[in-house]
A and B are shown apart, each in its own frame.
Chain A
Amino acid sequence: MRAIALIVGRELGAYFRGMSGWIIAAGILLLQGVLFNVFALGDGDKLSSKVLQDYFYFSMGMTIVASVLLSMRLIAEERHDGTMVLLLTSPASDWQIAVGKWMSAWIFVLMILAASFYMPLMVAVNGSVHTGHVFAGYLGLVLIGAATTALGTFTSSLTGSQVVAVILGGILAALTCVMWLFSKVASPPLDELFAYLDFYYRHFQDFREGTIHTRSIVFYSSVTFFFLLLTRQVLGARRWR
């Protein structure tokens, strides 16, 4: 745990000391605010719950974008700069390195989510909001942030180029959101598999509407674990090259 905490601390420090973390956070919050104003609030009279549903819908997209952008540098930058050797020759295990890297980006995503909380608060002040709805929506964002950050950590481990990492991560993340399209054209049992793997319709839809299903928590947690496992395998494989 100590090695993970140390890696998290250094990576968070790097986000704050450099410009990239601030720029990504500011850009995401700006876009989220504009989308909130234009689509959630500015589309005629609506019930507060409908405003929240719209808010969580585009917030999911923004969270995915933030996760992929924040995680692209995690390992690719170290490989590019030759500093990966510091971690790989330290007593930290490959698993601890993968988890520490992922966790730092995820915590930064959580900070962005925390900073976005003023938007549902505004809805609550001017309308009638069920606390459970807000909690469920944010829980969904936290989980989808964990999964896409793990996905981004994995693509970052594959290359020494942040650009390649972000393109790979973007493609994979986009695929996870359009799996329902494949499910429409695939035959059983693949149609059900594709539908299950879709990040939005099968899983986030419920959070968006204020419902928490254990199966969706398990799904996002499993995806997170799966990509962290792949990242660990990539790190381990480098020792054999």
Chain B
Amino acid sequence: MIEVSGLTKYYGETRAISDLSFTIDRGEIAGFLGLNGAGKSTALKILAGFLLPTSGTVSIDGVDVVAEPEKVRRQIGFLPEEPPLYKEMTVSGFLTYLGKLRGMSGTDVAARLPDVLGKTGLSGRSDQVISTLSLGYRKRVGIAQAIIHDPALVILDEPVSGLDPLQRVEMRSLVRSLGGDHTVLISSHNLTEVEETCDLLLMLGDGELVAQGSEEEINAQVGSGERVEIDVHGDAAEAIALLTELEVVEKAALAEAGEAFNTLDVTLVGEDPHGEAAWVVNTLIGGGFGLSRIAPAKGELEDLFLKITGKGGAA
């Protein structure tokens, strides 16, 4: 279990993070969300033992990062945004070196290496020199080095940045597969990434933790209901007027006007979004409107994030 309490870091007079406190359970995948400069990388570097905090405590399975740094570092695997690689080494040579440096015996490294190579999709590349690998494979080697010593906590800073769409899908799958065996903490400003991968969201804004919990819990914290998009055939203003009379609708607005249909953005209240959506559909049909689509609103987490961090203007 990772316990962070009152974590604060100053670079000179500049405050990077302030009073962060959160807990991540064993085997959970947590995601740090934040805009550039929000303090994500600083927080991750402290958790990885690379930086020391100005104040506050971090403990991993009860061992304090500051009091016993070398002991804690055995329990941590860290992948910065740019994979740190000795490019002149082969994949297996590199992983063997780091496994031993992190306290494993040669026998243990040799026994674990095939598993790690298999898990990261590097089985056919073990004897390849790292400098000859593509960026996607280098990221995989970066993850492999982070898990070679079977750490309790795996920290991945922007693991999908710079990857093409296919590589992103593969990397998401790889990150998800790490959960359970390891506690995983990733950082990203790609909200879809975090939404699809993480059990727990930690939202950072200007160095402070502005929200934490599952997406649903954060929704509840900020009082925002489920949002759906509805393509309506007919007069949009009339449809909006009809919907805003419903007690299950918090807000209805025109998202996009079209010739054939108009897209409405409808925010629902209550605890049964499916039932409420059905109520909305019945009301529109009963009012003589044609419907061609109803779906969860795109960018829901984006809106939520901007709302919480106060960066979204009127949002």
- Decide: A81 and B84 in contact? CB cutoff 8 A: yes
Give the Cβ gap from B8 to chain A, nearest Cβ, in Å. 13
- Decide: B84 and A82 in contact? CB cutoff 8 A: yes
Which residues of chain A are near B52, meaning CB under 8 Å? 239-240
Contacts between the two chains (Cβ within 8 Å), count? 64
Q: Is A86 an interface residue (CB 8 A)?
A: yes
Q: Is B305 an interface residue (CB 8 A)?
A: no
Which residues of chain A are near B86, meaning CB under 8 Å? 10, 14, 83, 86
Of the stretches B67-75, B169-177, B202-210, B286-294, the one at the interface is B67-75
Cα separation A85 to B48 with both chains bound (whole Å): 9
Which residues 129-174 of A sit at the B interface, judged by CB distance below 8 A? Answer: none
Cα separation A14 to B100 with both chains bound (whole Å): 17
Which residues of chain B are near A90, meaning CB under 8 Å? 73, 98, 101-102
Which residues 58-92 of B sit at the A interface, judged by CB distance below 8 A? Answer: 70-71, 73-74, 76, 78, 80, 82, 84-89
Q: Is A188 an interface residue (CB 8 A)?
A: no
- Decide: B100 and A6 in contact? CB cutoff 8 A: yes
- Decide: B88 and A88 in contact? CB cutoff 8 A: no
Contact of B51 among A10, A13, A239 (CB under 8 A): A239
Interface residues on A, range: 20 to 34
Which residues of chain A are near B103, meaning CB under 8 Å? 91
CB<8 Å pairs between A and B, sample of 11: A6-B100, A81-B87, A82-B84, A86-B84, A89-B50, A89-B78, A90-B101, A91-B103, A92-B70, A239-B50, A240-B51
Q: A83-B84, A85-B48 are in contact. List 9 more A-B contacts (CB 8 A).
A: A13-B89, A83-B86, A88-B50, A89-B78, A90-B73, A90-B101, A91-B103, A92-B101, A239-B52
Residues of A within 8 A of B (CB): 2-3, 6-7, 9-10, 13-14, 17-18, 81-93, 239-241
Residues of B within 8 A of A (CB): 11, 48-52, 70-71, 73-74, 76, 78, 80, 82, 84-89, 97-98, 100-103, 145
